[in-house]
A and B are shown apart, each in its own frame.
Chain A
Amino acid sequence: MDPIKLKKKILTRNDHIAAEIRDRFRSSGVSVINMVSSPGSGKTSLLEKTLGPLSTELAVGVIEGDILTENDARRIAMTGVPVHQINTGGACHLEAAMIRDALAHFDLDALDLLFIENVGNLVCPSAFDLGEGARVTIISVTEGDDKPLKYPAMFHTSDLMVINKMDLLPFTDFSVDSVIENARSANPSINILQTSCRTGKGLDGWMEFVRSFAAG
């Protein structure tokens, strides 16, 4: 028997669900940002800094993806923003079906902006479309500036790279120029911001990005 031809994307099912929820987001007027990073890059801190000021202007929600613990969700809940946690039970990434299920916990029509804090991992989440409108990769200066070369898929699929913990730059051998060059060679059109949650440096640029994204 001849081989049975498929010529099919392996993640077709995930892509279908992602397309379905992307339609729901669009018809409810919700802008969705998928935030990815390796563990410890300061993703939750950046969100904490963002949610306070933003929640006075916009109706914001957060889906928190964690392998096991609820610590991050608790930190987010302290900001007063509605948060729903997905415990992946060991899985290293979120999938579109998990987001679809989590949406039952939100009133989408009342929401302007939804952050998805993905599981801390620069490899696995890259393959899974979550129906988001923007994907943001957070990297910190305490990591290697060659991260984009090691994990090109993530940077290739991201709209923005945030270089966080800039206050620690003098204590590291991290090269901002190198990380920018490396990120651009995985994604020539990637946007880049430099921030420090401790000193507040660059946070206005980040808020500007979020606001203009939410405004569509």
Chain B
Amino acid sequence: MHELSIAMEILDIVEREASDHGAGRVINIRLRIGDLSGVETESLRFCFEAIRGEKDATRDADLIIMRVPVRIRCAPCAGEFEGEGHLLRCPSCGGLETELLEGDELNILDFEVE
């Protein structure tokens, strides 16, 4: 359950940034989480809701999680594809000369305050 560590980091970062901005209560936090990040959305939500009350600023904060599918570029095909199953294998030619364009992010995009 590394989602608990991740939820704690999110709270720490957002609380610090909110106080740096002199902001009030945080309403929501938007995350971009890639399918190749190893993070389980529901588990992260569960952990976050369990600990958000520890900090005043985030007591009512919701997580808005945007899953980012794996996108690859295949060199021989010169095309861009969404990776499925065999994530980095080109669905068109079956080759592995691919480059990961997105899908491994574990990022906070922004957060909204009252």
Contacts and interface: CB of A to CB of B under 8 A. Distances in A.
A94 B43 CA distance: 19
Given A127-B38, A188-B98, A8 B113 contact: no
Interface stretch (A57-65, A178-186, A195-203, A205-213): A178-186
Contacts of A123: 2, 38
Contact of B86 (A10, A125, A126, A149): A149
Interface of A: 1, 3-14, 91-93, 95, 123-128, 149, 151-154, 156, 181-182, 184-188
Nearest to A149: B85
**Size category of the binding interface on chain B:** 35 or more
A128 B45 CA distance: 19
Interface in B46-92: 85-89
Contacts of B93: none
- Most chain A beta-carbon neighbours within 10 Å: one of B5, B18, B21, B85: B5
A28 B74 CA distance: 40
26 contacts: A4-B17, A4-B23, A4-B113, A5-B109, A6-B14, A6-B17, A6-B108, A8-B107, A9-B105, A9-B106, A9-B107, A10-B9, A14-B9, A92-B2, A124-B38, A126-B38, A149-B86, A151-B38, A152-B87, A153-B38, A156-B36, A184-B96, A185-B87, A185-B88, A186-B86, A186-B88
